[in-house]
Amino acid sequence: MRIMQFQTNFSVGELDPLIRARTDLQQYQNALEEATNVIIQPQGGFKRRDGMKFIYDFGSSFTDFKVIPFEFSVDDSYLLVFVTQRIYVFKAGVLQTNINGSGNDYITATDITTAMLDNINYTQAVDTLILCHEDLQTKRLVRNGDTSWTLENLPLTNLPQYAYAFDTHQPDFTITPSATTGNITITASSMTTDNGTAQAGSSNTITLKAATSYTADDQPNGMFITLTSGTGSGQTRHVEDYVASTKVLTVYPAWDTAPDNTTGYKVSAFAEAAVGEYAQVTSTFGRARYVEYVSDTVMKAVTEVDFFDTDAVTAGFWESEHGYEDVWSSTRGWPRSAAFHEGRLYFGGSKSRPNTIWGSGVINYFDFNAGTGLEDESVEATINTNQLNTIVNLFSGNDFRIFTTGGEFVILQGANDPITPSNFFVRPQTRLGAKSGIPIEELNGASIFIQRQGKSINVFQFGDTTASYQVQNISALSSHLLKNPVDMAARRAASTDESDRLFVVNGTDGSMAVYSILVGQNVIAPSRFTTDGEFIAVGVEVADVYVIVKRTIDGTDNYMLEKFDPDLTLDSAKEGGAASSVTLQHLEGETVQIIRDGIIEPEQTVPGSPYTVTFALAATSSYQVGLNYTVTARTMPAEPVLSSGSVQGFKKRIIQVDAIVNSTKDMTINGKQVSFRNFGEDVLDSPVEPFTGIKTMHGLLGYSGTGQITISQNVPLEMIVLGLEYRLSVGN
């Protein structure tokens, strides 16, 4: 039985082998069993992937990389390549030299270690890039000019406080609130104060003067002691304990500089250090946070629980809650992620507070003063569910989106309302979890993220029908292409003959899963990119896709920056105009292909110094020299739709293939070379002319159990396949 089949498009891309038996799926008929080094076009065909232009050789000194785009303006965009303790700046593919006038071709970044590179998170606003890692004091990289950049600690003020060492005391004095609710003052009275010169001190104690006013144990507990002169002057601490018989007062935390018998001191009800602490009434109601120091006996405060009345609260009926300290520090760790959203800078998670999110004041990006809870003051919330939700990424969309290891959350905003301290509520949406270290990409209003274990690529977006956020797994039919993803970048379509593309770097084998996405046509078409080496990292600078590639050169692993270029058909390539030779130091000892004026020359091996490859004839208009790569597109096993049922168990033979091609110069079909050159005078001295139309291949011999067509290439020339019509013989 002979059957005519026509595969009109390949818009499903490479299909997971686990779906091999699902011939009932509509996607089966438009899929490929293998799509290596091809790109699926939005019109349905596939073409040879772009070659890669050589940009820079990092050599073998660095093995870990982070690639971050930096777009300053329409005319000024950069690619930042982070390595251990350095940042390289590229503009239009050119390394900027003499950075900061130091004579170096890089920005010195001594705090950025190898261990940090995989999980560095970032966000950008105009000329400033903010860098986050839980072990790195938050940095900002500021562009002053192409060759002038400043890397410094982010100047944060009024850091949020948290009681890492929560403690309470019942101070021996009375407090009186000025009002029961809102912004109030709290006044201390009926207390014993003390000041003088200490007798001695240690790392966490001070021996008060002999004639001290404190005659009872614990009398000053919960108050503040400030060193006013002498050794250690300027320090303020909480009074943690007091022993009247020895006059030894214990403080918390320990002194930075221990006092001695030259140190002057005073003990007071309040001090500047009280800001951020709480007064908690235990007899009735009332809880207030101190927000501003007024005097040793007066604090401004904001109520969190209204007071019952404005009567004085005597000692023993209220508590002082303290032990609060800066939420970010070298001891407690630093923010793990960041994003700008509607006039605030947000930080998500830290080493010691992994599930908390903080937002700055409005248009006061580095100030996190909680103040009195006014609408433009800072915000804070902690995600508490029945599982750990370590925040790994933040994303600013139509709502503010929070990605954690346990699920996806949003800060919902209704009727265009801004986020304020009173409506800052984190709401759970889905529970997939996102993988740390991989950025969130945005396409058409949806957030794309890699699932926590790296098993799927997911789209997080609002669904009008359910009025909630939903997750769609866009890699469900191609999960085999994901092999421990380590990086991801999206390139948005720049013309009608291309689709949006998502590049996912695999850590297991150094391949890339590349998804061609056309949302309007519901096209999600994956393919696999390989090269002579391993892809390590990827970044998109506006419309240009850059990769870090590890290549073994002369027995040594070297790391190179390369850029996908639609005008090239070779990897790690150099190109030019009229020339008779080219220097290829980065490919010493490698066998390279040469395309000179569109003509394929014999391969050559790059020699040692001066690493010059000389062409057989001088190029008059153009050349490219680099590494070839394998191109393979194999159809799914033939399964014609017949009334008699499936033909899975029958032997099959492809008798004839009519390939519909566009601007194509080379291809093979099932191992047989398709002719693209006509005989004639001087035919071998001219390039192959691109062909558009139908190429027919006869004489394909041999039966198989699958009846597949394999399109491949032997030489690095252009190829675009639009469809395949073929005659299939089916028999026992």
Q: Chain-wide mean pLDDT for the chain?
A: 93
Q: Residue 17 in 3-state DSSP?
A: helix
Per cent of the chain over pLDDT 70 is 98
**Residue 643 — very low, low, confident or very high, per pLDDT cuts 50/70/90?**
low
**Residue 26 — very low, low, confident or very high, per pLDDT cuts 50/70/90?**
confident
322's enclosing H/E stretch is strand 318-322
- How long a stretch of residues is the chain? 732
638's tokens: 């033939």
pLDDT exceeds cutoff 60 at 162: yes
Q: What is the pLDDT of residue 233?
A: 97
Measured CA to CA, the distance from residue 581 to residue 392 in angstroms comes to 49
Measured CA to CA, the distance from residue 176 to residue 481 in angstroms comes to 67
Q: Is-contact 71 541, C-beta < 8 A?
A: yes
Q: Dump strand ranges (E) for 390-522.
A: 391-396, 400-404, 408-411, 427-430, 441-443, 446-450, 457-463, 468-473, 485-491, 500-506, 512-518
Distance (Å) of CA 393 to CA 47, 124, 367, 450: 35, 14, 21, 11
Q: Is-contact 709 727, C-beta < 8 A?
A: no
> Which candidate, 388, 384, 383, 328, places its Cα nearest to that of 360?
328
> Which candidate, 484, 605, 593, places its Cα nearest to that of 535?
484
pLDDT tens digits, 40-86: 998 899 999 999 999 999 999 999 999 999 998 888 899 999 999 99
3-state helix, strand, coil in the chain (%, to 5): 5, 50, 45
Measured CA to CA, the distance from residue 314 to residue 176 in angstroms comes to 9
| Ramachandran angles phi, psi of 697, nearest 5° | -120, 120
Distance (Å) of CA 305 to CA 64, 167, 182, 281, 670: 51, 19, 9, 10, 78
Q: What is the pLDDT of residue 495?
A: 77
| Ramachandran angles phi, psi of 116, nearest 5° | -85, -25
Half-sphere exposure of 397 (CA within 13 A, CB side): 24
Measured CA to CA, the distance from residue 570 to residue 565 in angstroms comes to 9
Amino acid identity, residue 8?
T
Q: What is the pLDDT of residue 188?
A: 97
Burial class (CB within 10 angstroms; exposed 0-12, middle 13-18, buried 19+) of 269: buried
- Looking at residues 228-248, what average pLDDT do you find? 96
Each domain of the chain, given as residue ranges in start order, spans 2-31+632-731, 161-326, 571-627
Query: What distance lies between CA 425 and its chain's CA centroid?
Result: 24
Q: Is-contact 637 688, C-beta < 8 A?
A: no
Q: What is the 3-state secondary structure (H, E, C) of 34-84?
A: EEECEEECCCCCEEECCEEEEEEEEECCCCCCEEEEEECCCCCEEEEEEEC
**Residue 732 — very low, low, confident or very high, per pLDDT cuts 50/70/90?**
low
Q: Where is mean pLDDT largest: 304-308, 466-470, 501-505?
A: 501-505
Q: What is the pLDDT of residue 683?
A: 55
Query: What distance lies between CA 374 and its chain's CA centroid?
Result: 32
